[in-house]
Amino acid sequence: MMKYPASFKKEDGGITVTFRDIPEAITQGDNEADALFMAKDALLESMSVYFDEKRTVPPPSAAKRGERLIPLPASVAAKVLLLNEMLAQEVIAAELARRMDTTRQEVNRLIDLSHTTKIDRIEDAMAALGKQLELSVV
């Protein structure tokens, strides 16, 4: 699971939340519970910026003292790993589709955060990139 460190800073009128690794994710909540809810939402929404711009999503760093770890949903984390691998290998959707013997449209859905994707297809895409997707329970 991908968990990003977040700073919760009490300010007048609420709590501001920022992420060192994902500077696009900034939010605020009225109280701790609200700030935590908003932090999860801001982190998830900020991922769409990286996907829309086809930019590598920075990996989460270790939390520093006073930071809280905010997890990405597993389905989003798997898509982040896929996007990052495609970018690292400079493989475009059309090429991945060819390797997977599928359509470019299906590959585009694999890297679309708003589209629900079966984990098996992400696993297939990673295999087509010479990688293995592993899940674990901790």
Same domain, 89 and 65: no
80 shares a domain with 64:
no
- Provide mean pLDDT across the span 93-105: 97
Span 61-83, pLDDT tens digits: 999 999 999 999 999 999 999 99
Give yes or no for a contact between 4 and 19, defined as CB atoms under 8 angstroms apart.
yes
| pTM of the predicted model as reported, rounded to 2 decimal places | 0.92
Task: Specify the 3-state DSSP secondary structure of 123.
Answer: helix
**Per-residue confidence (pLDDT) for residue 30, from 0 to 100:** 95
Domain of 28, in residue numbers: 3-71
What pLDDT sits at residue 135? 86
Amino acid 6: pLDDT:
98
Residue 1 has pLDDT above 90, yes or no: no
Residues 11 and 61 grouped into a single domain: yes
In a domain, 135, yes or no: no
At 39, phi and psi to the nearest 5? -65, -45
Residue 17, pLDDT score: 98
Q: Is the domain of 87 the same as that of 63?
A: no
Task: Tell me the mean pLDDT in the region 74-100.
Answer: 97
With a cut of 90, say whether residue 13 has pLDDT above it: no
pLDDT score at 136: 84
Instruction: Convert 28-61 into a string of H (helix), E (strand) and C (coil).
Output: EECCHHHHHHHHHHHHHHHHHHHHHCCCCCCCCC
Interval 88-104 mean pLDDT? 97
Of the residues 25, 50, 71, which one is the last residue of a structural domain? 71
Q: How many domains does the structure of the chain reveal?
A: 2
Q: Are residues 62 and 12 in the same domain?
A: yes
Q: Do 86 and 99 belong to one domain? A: yes
- The whole-number average pLDDT for the span 98-110 is 97
10 shares a domain with 66: yes
For residues 40 and 92, state if they share a domain: no
According to the model, what pLDDT value does residue 12 have?
84
3-class secondary structure, 19: strand
Q: What is the mean pLDDT of residues 108-126?
A: 95
- Clarify whether residues 52 and 64 are in a common domain: yes
CATH of residue 29's domain is 3.30.160.250
